[in-house]
Structure 1
Amino acid sequence: MTYVTERERDAVTVGEAAELAGVTVRALHHWDEIGLASPSLRTAAGYRRYTEADVQRLDRVVAYREAGLGLDAIRAVLDDAAAEIGATLREQRAKLAERIGELQRLDERLARLTEAHERGVLLGDEEQTEIFGTGWDPAASLQARAAWGDSPQWAQFAERSASRTPGEWRSLSAAMSALQDDLGHAVARDVTPGSPEANALVERHREVFSNFFPLTRRMQVCLGRMFEADPGFAAHYDGIRAGLAAWFRRSIDDSARAHGIDPETATWE
């Protein structure tokens, strides 16, 4: 007759131990392989059996793992009677606090990105008027989103807007205003489209506009068409100087030709 001790009788299978600990059987096999939490018993057929003490160790492993300790740190805490558990946990809390700070900063960044995708310019109405001038409509970026919100360029604009400071908006607004003034002066002085001066202004426009999203020469040709054909844009440019909308479109087209682009077939790409 084979006698079974109480300890053996109360031992549980690997599946039961996994359920009690709230982990997978695969995890228990791994912990056994690395010597972190091994079963004290095996049957004659070689099946693992976990005693009550083994299950208690599993519970401690799970508790420390959920607290963020790595498996090596857990082994040191459980196996070294002289281990400074308090010091280990304090160190882990410091790491956790650092990670929480990183996550909070990430959350703030995601919040700004979300708002930028929805609103475009992350400035209040009064601040927009102060930076962009009294002729600026604070609803303009919402109108732009309604028109182009599904485009890659809107996404690029929003991503840049999310990190742009009021000071950077002021600098960009000043650059745009200076460019428009110089365009108006060019028309007043009868600068010829396609001339070096006109081409330099077209290139300057592309560089300044690329602060919003990368603007290719073909895309610039499409903008030039819109500046002349769209009543709102045409009124804006002709308000700077009569005839500017048409002059600017011709200048963009001539510059494009100089770079091997046919303005008649240029598309938004």
Structure 2
Amino acid sequence: MINAHTGLMEALTVGQVAETFGVTVRTLHHYDEVGLLHPSERTPAGYRLYTGEDLQRLSTIVVYRRLDFSLEEIGELLDADGAEVIDHLRRQRDEIRARLAQMSDLVDAIDRRLEAAMTDRPATTEDLKELFGDGYSEEYQAEAQERWGDTDTWAQSQARTKHMTKDQWAEVKVEMETFETDLGAAVRAGTPVDGEAAAALAERHRASIERYYDCTHEFQVCLAQMYLSDQRFTEHYEQIEPGTAQWLHDAIVANAAPHAD
């Protein structure tokens, strides 16, 4: 504490020093016992007081301790001349820099492990909402489970998607967007539903379904019927290009015909 009248550091009690410098009273007593830091004055009642010089010495001790110096090393430094102090500090600085480099490498290794762990973990509901936005609906997921939850197809779908990561779902999104872009272009161009280009799109559609469960041509036709009967699916495809729901349905049906029993 600085005296407002003299501008000099006032002598402090052990308790005041402990509070000011963040050290314990026990530590100060230990420094006194080992001869590292003695309070230079005492009150009339015999209480020890630390002078301004004592506190400057303590400040140096605190810095050295934070640098992980031993008390013996600190004592040698405090008693050494300027050249010895500089030489010792330079050696200690080199050691600390080497330690920091090791810690930096350790942090990088932990970051790599963390990134790998985060990448490999199964995608959460929040991840899917972030990726697909309005295209992901928990209500639809619940409805789908209610309708097909007791089927082998549902079980197969759950098993295949259970461990899919966010990156894998991102690939699904890109695949879906690319397919729908090509689908819209085919509809705008008036591509025949029974031609090779339409058949290729129908097979891409079926392959995208098989990411989740086995999809025969017959089952794909059932899905295509739903694109016309379920307004939600119809509206989705119509947003791509007017007439897309019907075109995709017809292309799937035409592609399945040669595979019918």
Look up the match of 2:247. Answer: 247
Look up the match of 1:187. Answer: 187
Look up the match of 1:197. Answer: 197
* Alpha-carbon offset, residue 239 of structure 1: 1.3
Q: Deviations over 1:51-71 (max 9, x none)?
A: xxxxxxxxxxxxxxxxxxxxx
* Alpha-carbon offset, residue 122 of structure 1: 5.4
Query: CA, structure 1 residues 135+162, in 2 after alignment: closer, same or farther (shift >3 Å)?
Result: closer
Distance across 2 between alignment mates of 1:143 and 1:190: 35
**3-state SS of the aligned residue for 1:202?**
helix
Look up the match of 1:123. Answer: 124
* Alpha-carbon offset, residue 201 of structure 1: 0.3
The residue type paired with residue 246 of structure 1 is Q
Look up the match of 1:170. Answer: 170
The residue type paired with residue 198 of structure 2 is A
Q: Deviations over 1:189-224 (max 9, x none)?
A: 101101000000000111111001111100000001
**3-state SS of the aligned residue for 1:163?**
coil
Distance across 1 between alignment mates of 2:184 and 2:138: 24
Look up the match of 2:231. Answer: 231
Look up the match of 1:145. Answer: 145
**Structure 2 residues not aligned, in runs of 5+:** 1-120
Distance across 2 between alignment mates of 1:127 and 1:177: 18
The residue type paired with residue 241 of structure 1 is E
Look up the match of 2:221. Answer: 221
The residue type paired with residue 184 of structure 1 is G
Look up the match of 2:49. Answer: none
Q: Is the 8 A contact 2:128 2:166 kept in 1?
A: no
Distance across 2 between alignment mates of 1:216 and 1:167: 27
1:212 corresponds to 2:212: yes
The residue type paired with residue 186 of structure 1 is A
* Alpha-carbon offset, residue 228 of structure 1: 1.2
Look up the match of 1:73. Answer: none
**Structure 1 residues not aligned, in runs of 5+:** 1-111, 113-120, 263-269
Distance across 1 between alignment mates of 2:198 and 2:246: 13
Look up the match of 2:133. Answer: 133
The residue type paired with residue 226 of structure 1 is M
**3-state SS of the aligned residue for 1:192?**
coil
**3-state SS of the aligned residue for 1:194?**
coil
* Alpha-carbon offset, residue 138 of structure 1: 3.4
Distance across 2 between alignment mates of 1:160 and 1:256: 25
* Alpha-carbon offset, residue 147 of structure 1: 1.4
Identity of aligned residues (%): 33
Distance across 1 between alignment mates of 2:139 and 2:240: 21
**3-state SS of the aligned residue for 1:139?**
helix
Distance across 2 between alignment mates of 1:243 and 1:182: 14
Name the Cα RMSD after superposition: 1.9
Q: Deviations over 1:84-130 (max 9, x none)?
A: xxxxxxxxxxxxxxxxxxxxxxxxxxxx9xxxxxxxx9522x32222
The residue type paired with residue 166 of structure 1 is K
The aligned length equals 141
Distance across 2 between alignment mates of 1:132 and 1:194: 32
* Alpha-carbon offset, residue 181 of structure 1: 1.5
Query: CA, structure 1 residues 184+204, in 2 after alignment: closer, same or farther (shift >3 Å)?
Result: same
